[in-house]
């Protein structure tokens, strides 16, 4: 179940402590913007209103292109996915996305990761894992369950930007509520 207070607290936290300005964005985006971040093995979910976003990042990118949006932002949207369904993967969930296209540097990426680490450490013991150059996950320390992804991207339509998860629900709540059980399962392996 989605814990809306975690989402609300994340919005306030990132705005007050790290100056990520909250903006309202559409829950749909054009195919050009959906495809920028869509993994190769996934497809966008079409609706009568357009293609549903897999992340607010896609909606923000559309605003970058159409409104010349530039800055440090956060946006909260439902995220629609064509994933398998289990305790950690849902057809839809709620996520606050962090976005920075004003200072796209390694230092700015590190600052975003530090902000997210500070937020998640209020609830769990976490660690940062590097996936490839300039791409990282924050995971729960013992189980390795991913709480958020962070990195630098670039695309000819919109330039370069830094993206990251501020808070995803119900994943954060699930890991908090089940961390003891998850740790025991890891020990049995």
**What is 4-188's CATH number?**
3.30.930.10
Residue 28 has pLDDT above 60, yes or no: yes
> What is the band of 180 on the pLDDT scale with cuts at 50, 70, 90?
low
Question: Closest Cα to residue 35, out of 153, 170, 119, 181?
Answer: 153
Q: What is the pLDDT of residue 185?
A: 59
Would you list the domain boundaries of the chain? Answer: 4-188
Contact 95, 166 (CB under 8 A): yes
Q: What is the pLDDT of residue 128?
A: 98
Residue 64 has pLDDT above 60, yes or no: yes
**3-class DSSP state for residue 45?**
strand
Question: Closest Cα to residue 32, out of 45, 48, 51?
Answer: 51
Residue range 163-180: mean pLDDT, rounded:
91
CA 99/CA 73 separation, integer angstroms: 5
Residue range 153-178: mean pLDDT, rounded:
95
The tens digit of pLDDT for each residue in 97-150 reads: 999 999 999 999 999 999 999 999 999 999 999 999 999 999 999 889 999 999
Q: What is the pLDDT of residue 186?
A: 55
Residues of the chain with pLDDT > 90, as a percent, come to 77
**3-class DSSP state for residue 175?**
helix
Residue 89 has pLDDT above 90, yes or no: no
Confidence (pTM): 0.91
> For the chain, first and last CA: distance in Å?
28
CA distances from 149 to 77, 118, 131, 164, 189 (A): 16, 15, 10, 5, 26
């Amino acid at each position: 179940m989605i814990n809306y207070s975690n989402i609300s607290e994340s919005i306030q936290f990132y705005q007050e402590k790290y100056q990520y300005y909250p903006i309202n964005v559409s829950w749909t985006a054009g195919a050009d913007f959906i495809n920028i971040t869509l993994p190769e093995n996934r497809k966008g979910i079409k609706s009568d209103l357009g293609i549903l976003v897999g992340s607010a990042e896609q909606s923000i990118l559309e605003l970058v292109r159409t409104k010349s949006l530039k800055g440090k932002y956060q946006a909260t949207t439902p995220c629609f996915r064509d994933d398998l369904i289990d305790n950690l993967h849902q057809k839809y969930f709620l996520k606050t996305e962090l976005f920075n296209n004003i200072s796209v540097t390694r230092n700015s990426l590190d600052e975003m990761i530090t902000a997210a680490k500070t937020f998640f450490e209020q609830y769990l013991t976490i660690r940062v894992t590097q996936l490839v150059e300039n791409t990282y996950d924050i995971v729960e320390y013992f189980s390795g369950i991913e709480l958020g992804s962070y990195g630098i991207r670039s695309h000819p339509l919109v330039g370069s930007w830094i993206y990251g998860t501020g808070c995803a629900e119900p994943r954060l709540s699930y890991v908090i509520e089940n961390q003891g059980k998850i740790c025991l399962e890891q020990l049995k392996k």
